[in-house]
Structure 1
Amino acid sequence: MKLIWSPDTATKAYIDTVRTCKVFNESGVAELVSAMAAGWNAKLIVETWSQGGVIATSIGLEIASRHTCGRHVCVVPDEKSRSEFITAMKEAADMNPEVLVGEPEEVMSELVGIDFMVVDSKRKDFARVLRQAKLNQSGAVLVCKNANSRSTSSFRWRSVIDCGSRRVVRTVFLPVGKGLDMAHVSSSGGNSGSSKVEKKKWIKHFDQRSGEEYVIRK
């Protein structure tokens, strides 16, 4: 399904996230990503989370998935993180989202057609997770949170996106929370800038009646 922006759905998700996350000090990120995921009508929303991470963003994404009738999946590195995440979500907002445990290569193979994805830049393997992501053929939105914690010189969106079949349409960095680095990825098989340009041909035609010669570009 092609991503189509819906301002009404985005607003509703934003308001619900504000109400739910009002007890958190860093809820600005949660509200923004929730509105974005809902506004793009994302059906498969994926995030990464590690032990000790802020839970507000996860609440926002869960709320977004409910507004889009979609699926929200959280990927964690180990069982300890899984247990802490489930407990925190239950206590904070009485939510029980889907959680997958394992290495990026293993876990991401089970998630095909990702529309919206949020990864934590504090995780050492965040770039590997992005490379392994099976994005929606119609395009996707990718978000790196806590982007201030990593070196900007060591990461480029084009280094994790398959430029052979996709391209990065647009990137933006927002000073929200501890930094949000976002990218909009094109549809699969979209214009990657490497397509061959069809050469124009010049065709000459001689009118025997009038004696005039015409040159036509085709």
Structure 2
Amino acid sequence: MMEWCPEHAMKAYLKTLHLRKNYSDRTSTRGSPEFEEPKIMEFLSALAAGNCAKLIVQITTEGVTPVTLALAVAARQIGGKFVCIIPHDHDDEEDINKSICTHHQLNGCDHLKDVIHIVAGNPCEIIKQFKKIDFMVVDSKVGDHLKLLKTADLNSKGSLMVMTNLFINGQKRASLREILKAKDGVYCKSVTIPVGEGIELTKIVPSNKHGRKRRTRFHVTYEN
């Protein structure tokens, strides 16, 4: 089971909050857009760090995003590994190059460059390279994201999966819980949180040796 560390969570939250504030202060005078979805940034950073996730994986169609930076903060806080997977085919070479360029020009976030490992290609194939994923963030806009979720090798001692952009054109995407509950030997519980375009957080824990589902308490507090 993943153990919660409030100290790591607090430090990651505050560092992400500080990161966003400093970035906004630098860019506002130049008319540049501020970070989007700050609540998601701080929440996910604290969640990943608090759960001491040693392997964090993000799959996103948008390249290096504010969420990417927030997860990098968490990885640095706990000394974990962070991989950002960007779907890539021959038709989007320009977009991939733009994402990598953005990664190397993080507007004052250079201290995070060595934490973010970008891998471009077919996510369903790339994800096979990584074992015992502790914390995984998947953008529902990623093609075949349902197959991707089934393919991922999750930490057998417990893991957390987050799906962002849960609502598209007012329609809710398929639930991770519905996908994962069919897997043998795991028990999962999900909650939907009204942050940004909606996120679904799914906690996955192993069943006990007798095959009965392990009880788990899953509590989220959200304030506007």
TM-score by length of 2: 0.77
Number of aligned residues: 192
Partner of 1:204: none
Give the CA deviation at 1:117: 0.5
Equivalent runs, 1:42-191 vs 2, <5 Å? 42-51=53-62, 55-78=65-88, 79-92=93-106, 93-94=109-110, 95-96=112-113, 97-149=116-168, 151-152=171-172, 154-168=174-188, 170-187=189-206
Letter in 2 for 1:122: K
Partner of 1:6: 5
Give the CA deviation at 1:17: 0.6
Name the larger-Rg structure: 1
Alpha carbons of 1:15 and 1:75: their partners in 2 closer, same or farther (altered >3 Å)?
same
Asked if the contact 1:65/1:71 (under 8 Å) is kept, the reply is yes
Which deviations, in whole Å up to 9, do the C-alpha atoms of 1:12-70 show, x marking residues without a partner?
Answer: 0001111112321422111100000000000000001114x671100000010011100
Taking only aligned residues, the RMSD between alpha carbons, in angstroms, comes to 2.4
Which deviations, in whole Å up to 9, do the C-alpha atoms of 1:121-158 show, x marking residues without a partner?
Answer: 12222212211110001010000111112733644523
Alpha carbons of 1:128 and 1:19: their partners in 2 closer, same or farther (altered >3 Å)?
same
Alpha carbons of 1:167 and 1:190: their partners in 2 closer, same or farther (altered >3 Å)?
farther
Q: Which has the higher contact order (CA 8 A, sep 6+)?
A: 2
Asked if the contact 2:64/2:103 (under 8 Å) is kept, the reply is no
Partner of 1:207: none
SS at match of 1:167: strand
Give the CA deviation at 1:191: 6.6
Identity %: 31
Letter in 2 for 1:37: A
Structure 1 gaps, min length 5: 196-218
